């Protein structure tokens, strides 16, 4: 082939592959087989390798992701990226329509579309080619994440159409489909890694990754909903969406032209139900004034366009029958009331059980037998009972009381704070099994092959009654159990033996002393160096460690005051586990200078402890979110204004688990 012929061939291949990609990913109507696609891609890759002069950053071969980058440049937006004003009820929408109607003389219509719950991205195209993709950042400037954007298969790299202006900006939302989100979380679980809270966080986190190849594997999607530029071939929002579709974008499914509030409401009612079967998370709808000239007249406030309004869907709530209440005993003996419900569909999944949290909450709900209860998903994840329909209560129904004895071992319960505990840590079955599960987990002793089922089996066969028994197990004990064989039995025993090398801090964590999480265990281990000194330490000595509060110290004292625990530790010592620090080089400055804002409540720390811990690791805690903040560390029920501020500034929102990973 001559060079000219090579060039022609490369161009033809790129065109065909682009077309194939569009039909497959955007239209979901492939007309090329996977085999054919792969073969063409391979041919193109070879030609591009042999003729580097024809390199093109927008070639279909670049979808797999280029080389890792060390950071993202901050770039000023040509048109600021604003937020949307929000309403939570129809009255607000009505008020908004009245308000803007007074501001302009002309009649106008609306374009109503779905509000996708992802992260926004602004893409600049020059001569139809994608040149730059920016995150929202603080609205004025954002991060240049073009290398990551190029891996998004539903984001066109080259626009098709004869009416594309020289320069256009297409803004929209980067998302991860629910299916993909589940797939990624399953994979994380399989690898023993932390799972993501929701698809939006995952999409946001993914766009900030510095390795485009990892981004490509996450299979993000892009939906376009705003077209900006001079000399646009359209003059309404509705036509703009049509145009975007024509140019190769995936646009909000669906969208309508509306003349009045009634039509807008129909759309809201319709999608309020349909959204649960929709492949992407949506958190509302967006109403936009349709005509661009009217939009221009209405203009902008400092924060948002006056011509658009988001309507947020209310959290879904269902009424269902309470069948019974179980009291579950956890690893630390904590007893949690759980409602068994008549199965009900809620936000896309069937819910049969919902937490009742604790006694106080049960009292507040005033729960009676056979009640009809309202369930909601907290943060769209854990179902909880939020209320009772008292009008449906049968006369004479008995109130449901919290129990006073352990439902499993009948030990009297002890109240601490808002919770009740079964203090029988040595023979209460669910506690023991959960302790063993915790002990073998990856972050503790890291023993492989001992999942909950096998642990249950070993327990039922009387082979283990506590964690020390693990070290007496032999291949012969295991190999004949159901589901095991010589090979897996050997592997398990080998892994148990290997765990004897786990360092003191992991052993201390593995013991499962209440409130002693990974971080506390690390701090305590490096301070006391061995278990004997820790056993003799007073509460004052323990709290002298930066980051360790009284709650933890008291809990440690309680633990060591139990002779059963001392006996257990002695057996583990004899088995050869590490109860002292060998080499000492884990001094910590993992967060050097990073600024954190903390919001919500946390599992492993009080707010004060968390602050201490961040400082201990070299980070700083600031009180409000600004563009200088590095992370918003969000616990349970974080402040909504902090969250939205962080989102609007593109500041990563991390969970407690993410944080623990950071300082691991
Ligand atoms: P919020 O993130 O709740 O402040 O809502 C505003 C954001 O909604 C915008 O910045 C966009 O990222 C996002 N959004 C999702 N779908 C749309 C849409 N169809 N039109 C405009 N914005 C949208
Ligand atoms: Zn018990």
Q: Does residue 69 lie within any of the structural domains? A: no
Give the tokens for residue 336. 């949690």
- CA-CA distance, 504 to 581, in Å (whole number)? 6
State whether 623 and 543 are in the same domain: no
Single residue among 400, 421, 442 that ends a domain in this structure: 421
Residue 83 in contact with ligand 1 by CB distance below 6 A: yes
Q: What proportion of the chain, given as a percentage, has pLDDT over 90? A: 70
State whether 551 and 638 are in the same domain: no
- The number of the ligand nearest the C-alpha atom of 335 reads 2
State whether 562 and 478 are in the same domain: no
How far are the Cα atoms of 88, 177, 276, 279, 578 from residue 182, in angstroms, in the given order?
29, 9, 15, 11, 38
State whether 184 and 306 are in the same domain: yes
**CATH number of the domain that residue 59 is part of:** 1.10.287.610
Angle value at C-alpha 216, between 283 and 645, nearest 5 degrees: 35
The arithmetic mean of pLDDT across residues 426-437, rounded, is 95
Give the tokens for residue 625. 């979110």
Domain membership of residue 17 as a residue range = 3-64
Catalytic residue ranges? 115
* Total of domains in the chain: 6
Residue nearest to atom 5 of ligand 1 (CA): 84
pLDDT of residue 603: 86
Q: Does residue 581 lie within any of the structural domains? A: no
589 pLDDT more than 70: no
C-alpha 406 to ligand 2 mean position (Å): 5
**CATH number of the domain that residue 467 is part of:** 1.10.150.20
Residue 286 in contact with ligand 1 by CB distance below 6 A: yes
Tens-place pLDDT, residues 314-352: 777 889 999 999 999 999 999 999 999 999 988 667 889
C-alpha 410 to ligand 2 mean position (Å): 6
The arithmetic mean of pLDDT across residues 258-274, rounded, is 91
Cα 596 to chain centroid distance, Å, stands at 18
State whether 255 and 328 are in the same domain: no
Which range of 64-68, 379-383, 456-460 scores highest in mean pLDDT? It is 456-460
590 pLDDT more than 80: no
128 Rama sector, left if φ>0, alpha if ψ -120 to 50, beta otherwise: left
Single residue among 371, 388, 421 that ends a domain in this structure: 421
585 pLDDT more than 60: no
pLDDT of residue 583: 57
The arithmetic mean of pLDDT across residues 67-71, rounded, is 86
174 pLDDT more than 70: yes
**CATH number of the domain that residue 275 is part of:** 3.30.470.30
Atom of ligand 1 nearest to the CA of 117: 15
C-alpha 80 to ligand 1 mean position (Å): 14
Contact 633, 596 (CB under 8 A): yes
Top-confidence residue, 115 or 639:
115
92 pLDDT more than 50: yes
Give the tokens for residue 57. 């950053």
State whether 223 and 284 are in the same domain: yes
225 pLDDT more than 60: yes
Q: Does residue 70 lie within any of the structural domains? A: no
Tens-place pLDDT, residues 603-615: 888 888 898 888 8
Total Cβ atoms within 10 A of residue 63: 18
pLDDT of residue 588: 58
Q: Does residue 296 lie within any of the structural domains? A: yes
Residue 117 in contact with ligand 1 by CB distance below 6 A: no
Q: Does residue 590 lie within any of the structural domains? A: no
560 pLDDT more than 70: yes
Across 216-234, b (16+ Cβ under 10 Å) vs e yields bebbbbbbbbbbebeebbe
C-alpha 422 to ligand 2 mean position (Å): 5
Top-confidence residue, 513 or 190:
513
pLDDT of residue 384: 87
**CATH number of the domain that residue 655 is part of:** 3.40.50.10190
Residue 26 in contact with ligand 1 by CB distance below 6 A: no
Total Cβ atoms within 10 A of residue 70: 5
- The number of the ligand nearest the C-alpha atom of 331 reads 2
- The number of the ligand nearest the C-alpha atom of 433 reads 2
Q: Does residue 537 lie within any of the structural domains? A: yes
C-alpha 13 to ligand 2 mean position (Å): 68
Considering the chain, what is the average pLDDT of its residues?
91
**CATH number of the domain that residue 354 is part of:** 2.40.50.140
State whether 515 and 490 are in the same domain: no
State whether 146 and 264 are in the same domain: yes
Q: Does residue 54 lie within any of the structural domains? A: yes
Lowest model confidence (mean pLDDT) among 242-256, 452-466, 499-513, 604-618: 604-618
Give the tokens for residue 553. 């110290």
Residue nearest to atom 23 of ligand 1 (CA): 115
380 pLDDT more than 70: no
State whether 478 and 610 are in the same domain: no
Q: Which of these, 599, 597, 628, 654, lies nearest to 138 by C-alpha position?
A: 628
pLDDT of residue 367: 94
Atom of ligand 1 nearest to the CA of 136: 10
State whether 496 and 414 are in the same domain: no
State whether 642 and 524 are in the same domain: no
Total Cβ atoms within 10 A of residue 536: 10
Tens-place pLDDT, residues 3-58: 999 999 999 999 999 999 999 999 888 888 989 999 999 999 999 999 999 999 99
Lowest model confidence (mean pLDDT) among 192-196, 204-208, 304-308, 320-324: 192-196
Residue 484 in contact with ligand 1 by CB distance below 6 A: no
Single residue among 512, 541, 575 that ends a domain in this structure: 575
Q: How confident is the model at residue 378 (pLDDT cuts 50, 70, 90)?
A: low
pTM above 0.75, yes or no: no
- CA-CA distance, 564 to 424, in Å (whole number)? 10
- CA-CA distance, 288 to 285, in Å (whole number)? 10
Q: Which of these, 594, 634, 586, lies nearest to 618 by C-alpha position?
A: 594
Q: Does residue 397 lie within any of the structural domains? A: yes
State whether 372 and 488 are in the same domain: no
Q: What proportion of the chain, given as a percentage, has pLDDT over 70? A: 98
Residue 225 in contact with ligand 1 by CB distance below 6 A: yes
pLDDT of residue 586: 46
Dihedral sign of CA atoms 234, 312, 136, 150 in order: negative
Residue 113 in contact with ligand 1 by CB distance below 6 A: yes
């Amino acid at each position: 082939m001559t060079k000219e012929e090579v060039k022609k061939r490369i161009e033809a291949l790129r065109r065909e592959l682009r077309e194939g990609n569009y039909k497959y990913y955007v239209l979901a109507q492939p007309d090329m087989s996977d085999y054919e696609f792969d073969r063409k891609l391979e041919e193109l890759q070879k030609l591009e390798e042999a003729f580097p002069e024809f390199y093109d950053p927008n070639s279909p071969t670049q979808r797999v992701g280029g080389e890792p980058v060390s950071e993202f440049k901050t770039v000023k937006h040509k048109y600021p990226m604003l937020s949307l004003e929000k309403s939570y009820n129809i009255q607000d929408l009505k008020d908004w329509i009245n308000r803007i109607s007074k501001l302009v003389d002309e009649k106008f219509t609306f374009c109503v579309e779905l509000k996708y719950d992802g992260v926004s991205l602004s893409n600049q195209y020059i001569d139809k080619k994608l040149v730059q993709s920016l995150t929202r950042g603080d609205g004025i400037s954002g991060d240049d994440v073009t290398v990551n954007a190029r891996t998004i298969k539903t984001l066109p790299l080259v626009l098709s159409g004869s009416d594309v202006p020289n320069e256009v900006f297409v803004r929209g939302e980067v998302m991860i489909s629910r299916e993909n989100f589940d797939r990624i979380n399953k994979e994380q679980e399989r690898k023993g890694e932390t799972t993501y809270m929701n698809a939006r966080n995952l999409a946001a986190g993914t766009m900030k990754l510095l390795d485009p190849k990892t981004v490509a594997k996450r299979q993000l999607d892009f939906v376009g909903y705003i077209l900006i530029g001079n000399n646009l071939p359209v003059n309404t929002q509705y036509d703009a969406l049509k145009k975007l579709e024509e140019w190769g974008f995936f646009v909000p499914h669906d969208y309508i032209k509306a003349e009045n509030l009634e039509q807008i409401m129909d759309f809201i009612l319709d999608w309020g139900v349909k959204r649960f079967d929709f492949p992407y998370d949506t958190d509302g709808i967006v109403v936009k004034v349709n005509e661009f000239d009217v939009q221009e007249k209405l203009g902008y406030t400092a924060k948002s366009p006056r011509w658009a309004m988001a309507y947020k869907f209310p959290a879904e709530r269902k009424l269902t029958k309470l069948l019974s209440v179980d009291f579950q005993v956890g690893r630390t003996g904590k007893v949690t009331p759980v409602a068994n419900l008549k199965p009900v569909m809620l936000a896309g999944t069937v819910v049969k059980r919902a937490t009742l949290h604790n006694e106080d909450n049960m009292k507040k709900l005033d729960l009676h037998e056979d009640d009809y209860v309202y369930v909601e998903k907290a943060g769209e994840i854990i179902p909880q009972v939020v209320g009772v329909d008292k009008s449906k209560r049968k006369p004479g129904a008995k109130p449901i009381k919290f129990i006073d004895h352990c439902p499993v071992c009948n030990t009297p319960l002890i109240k601490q704070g808002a919770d009740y505990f079964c203090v029988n840590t040595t023979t209460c079955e669910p506690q023991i099994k959960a302790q063993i599960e915790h002990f073998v987990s990856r972050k503790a002793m890291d023993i492989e092959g001992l999942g909950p089922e096998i642990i249950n089996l070993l327990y039922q066969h009387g082979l283990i009654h506590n964690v020390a028994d693990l070290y007496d197990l032999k291949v012969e004990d295991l190999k004949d159990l159901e589901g095991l064989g010589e090979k897996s039995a050997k592997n398990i025993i080998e892994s148990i033996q290997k765990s004897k090398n786990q360092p003191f801090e992991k052993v201390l964590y593995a013991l499962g002393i209440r409130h002693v999480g990974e971080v506390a265990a690390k701090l305590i281990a490096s301070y006391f160096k061995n278990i004997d000194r820790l056993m003799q330490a007073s509460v004052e000595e323990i709290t002298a460690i930066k980051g360790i509060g009284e709650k933890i110290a008291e809990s440690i004292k309680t633990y060591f005051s139990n002779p059963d625990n001392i006996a257990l530790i002695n057996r583990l010592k004899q088995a050869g586990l590490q109860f002292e620090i060998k080499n000492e080089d884990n001094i910590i400055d993992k967060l050097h200078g990073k600024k954190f804002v903390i919001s919500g409540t946390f599992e492993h720390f009080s707010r004060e402890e968390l602050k201490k811990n961040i400082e201990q690791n070299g980070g700083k805690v600031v009180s409000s979110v600004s563009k200088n903040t590095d992370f918003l560390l969000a616990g349970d029920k974080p402040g909504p204004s902090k969250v939205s501020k962080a989102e609007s500034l593109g500041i990563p929102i991390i969970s407690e688990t993410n944080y623990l990973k950071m300082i691991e």
